[in-house]
Amino acid sequence: MCGIVGYCGPKRVVPVVLEGLRRLEYRGYDSAGIVYLEDGKLIKHRSEGKLARLEDIIDEAIIADSHIGLGHTRWATHGAPTTENAHPHSDCTGELVVIHNGIIENYHSLREELKAKGHVFTSETDTEVLAHLIEDNLTNDLVKAVKKAIKFLEGSFAIGVLWAGMPDTLVAVRNQSPLVLGVSEEDGTFLASDIPALLPYTKQVVFLDDMELAILTADSYQVFSLETDQPVVKEVKTIEWNAAMAEKAGYKHFMLKEIFEQPQAITNTISGRINLESGEVSLPEININGEDLKEIDRIFLVACGTSWHAALVAKYWIEKFANIPVEVDIASEFRYRHLLINERVLTVSISQSGETADTLAGIRIAKELGSKIITICNVVGSTMTREADGTIYTHAGPEIGVASTKAFISQLAALFLFTLYLGQQKKTIDLEVSRTLGKELIDIAGVVESELPRIKSEIEQLITTYYDSRDFLFVGRGLNFPIALEGALKLKEISYIHAEGYASGELKHGPIALIDKDMPILALVPQDEVYQKSISNVEEIKARQGRIILIGTEGDDHLKNITDDVIYLPKVAEAVNPILYTIPAQLLSYEIATKRGCDVDQPRNLAKSVTVE
């Protein structure tokens, strides 16, 4: 969380930094700030609220003839989201500034020590400690001062530092918070928390690793290990995303665009990975040979939020088709529980960003215990992909909307493929079954594509009598239970309606007490192997006068006897139902949130990439 941008090069710095911040605003939007160097002086502008508020007050800065600077968009951890707490933070002289993403855990004691030495603090943030700590160690070499200061820090940090005394240089350090350099012969050198900020300028990037320090000038960059104090030769990677992929392309919101990109995301994720003639799935990128995979006797799936819901679906798939027991863990729990993991366990992390702090910590622990690690991830070069033994990339393209949609669908596609792959290695499914299932996965992209516009318009009508509800329940069984959880999460995060997801059969163990004529319940009732059970649960809700919305199979006329509010979906193979049934759940949340006037792409209190614990 928090977005960092830095630039030095031939372009005017302020527009470059602002464009970068715009593209990183999904990482935090409580307050924003920029700083640049002009005529030997640091000029700083900060504002609480979204980036637009900052842009309103910096007309003159846009044309400043400055070519080096930093910018920051904040997701508050220490200190309220006020202008005073917005980054950049300065030292006592105002000649040195710092931007930071992460948490300095020992900031309180450092602050007291620095105050005792006479440093004057002007914010409540942990970050300001850094500025004073570097100042305290500064004589005439910024790099040395930063190195010394870092030794005092505990916690996670990605930082950018600019000092008027070294006017051509930015210094950056990464430890447990993401940081990437962008390099371009024509346009200079860039620093950012995430790739979208760099896309308008360069596709050549260098990912920093933990405890690395980078020195950036307009035409060079050098990276040093803070552990060995030696230079590190870094690989320059080429990113395949382009700038347009991270734009709204005429849609009102990123979320809507991303929902409509889902058929393509499915296709991209499976393309080249399954041979439809033979049914064979090939995933060489997991870097674990077939013999080793055969030895695996248990799988842990570890993830947070929406990615955790994808893991829950995958448990059903893997256990059914690959016959391997699967445990699904919320990463923040996984990392602190007593784990019975050894080298016969495979741990799979699922993450859009590849930077989620808890998930990352989880795979590090599993690795130490001897488990092989695979990550299913959307962001090329992200930390998880670098630490895992192998990565199955989801090819969803950049996901900017804070509420995850296309990343989820592509995770499901990747996990389905992975299931087939495991089944083939373990010889639990033959190639003919795999071919049929693979075909069903491919076909679902076409079904989603053709159904999306109709589902959207039916949901738009339907929500006119639901959008002002105070609560909402989502229920489903089997493969669709995790989709009920996902629907509830989407609704609460973007519309602020209290929503819960339940396994339909669990209702009568408590939640049914909530049902009355004011309680809307969305039930996922495809004609699958648990259909009759699901319908019985819906009847129980009806008997208690709940307001029922049913999502079911085309031609199932019985649903209309239960409620008027039915969204029909085409009959598809049972195994891929969760992919299709996610669509109305996403759209219901989107339509309700927009009707309520909520900021769909940047919901309150959230940030896209949760890089702190």
Closer residue to ligand F6R in complex, CB, 424/609: 609
What residues form DSSP beta bridges with 129? none
Alpha helical stretches, state H, 103-224: 107-116, 127-136, 142-150
Catalytic residue among 44, 257, 492, 608: 608
Cα–Cα dist 495/485, whole Å: 15
Phi/psi at 285 (nearest 5 deg)?
Answer: -65, -10
Closer residue to ligand F6R in complex, CB, 455/494: 494
In angstroms, what is the minimal distance from the CB of 363 to ligand F6R?
11
Closer residue to ligand F6R in complex, CB, 304/441: 304
Cβ(35)–Cβ(42) below 8 Å: yes
Cα–Cα dist 191/214, whole Å: 10
Cα–Cα dist 9/67, whole Å: 6
Cα–Cα dist 151/156, whole Å: 13
252 catalytic per annotation: no
Within 8 A by CB and 6+ apart from 2, the residues are 27, 28, 72, 73, 74, 75, 87, 100, 101, 102, 193, 607
Cα–Cα dist 269/255, whole Å: 19
367 catalytic per annotation: no
In angstroms, what is the minimal distance from the CB of 609 to ligand F6R?
6
Q: Which helix (H) or strand (E) segment is 548 a member of?
A: strand 547-553
Closer residue to ligand F6R in complex, CB, 89/335: 335
In angstroms, what is the minimal distance from the CB of 536 to ligand F6R?
31
Closer residue to ligand F6R in complex, CB, 306/371: 306
Burial class (CB in 10 A: 0-12, 13-18, 19+), 96: buried
What residues form DSSP beta bridges with 549? 522
Cβ(544)–Cβ(515) below 8 Å: yes
In angstroms, what is the minimal distance from the CB of 400 to ligand F6R?
11
Closer residue to ligand F6R in complex, CB, 351/469: 351
Measured CA to CA in angstroms, residue 327 lies from 100, 342, 433 at distances of: 36, 14, 25
Which residue has its beta carbon closest to ligand F6R? Answer: 305
- Interface ranges with ligand F6R (CB under 6 A): 304-307, 351-353, 356, 359, 403-404, 489, 493, 609-610
In angstroms, what is the minimal distance from the CB of 178 to ligand F6R?
11
Q: Which helix (H) or strand (E) segment is 386 a member of?
A: helix 383-387
What is residue 275's three-state secondary structure? coil
Closer residue to ligand F6R in complex, CB, 74/492: 492
What residues form DSSP beta bridges with 4? 72
Within 8 A by CB and 6+ apart from 430, the residues are none
What residues form DSSP beta bridges with 68? 8
Closer residue to ligand F6R in complex, CB, 177/307: 307
In angstroms, what is the minimal distance from the CB of 550 to ligand F6R?
24
Q: Which token pair is 429?
A: 């499914």
Looking up tokens 């005529």 gives: 39
In angstroms, what is the minimal distance from the CB of 241 to ligand F6R?
16
In angstroms, what is the minimal distance from the CB of 596 to ligand F6R?
17
Cα–Cα dist 582/576, whole Å: 11
In angstroms, what is the minimal distance from the CB of 300 to ligand F6R?
16
Q: Which token pair is 135?
A: 């100042």
Q: Cβ–Cβ contacts within 10 Å for residue 119, how many?
A: 18
Phi/psi at 546 (nearest 5 deg)?
Answer: -60, 155
Closer residue to ligand F6R in complex, CB, 128/601: 601
Residues with catalytic annotation?
2, 608
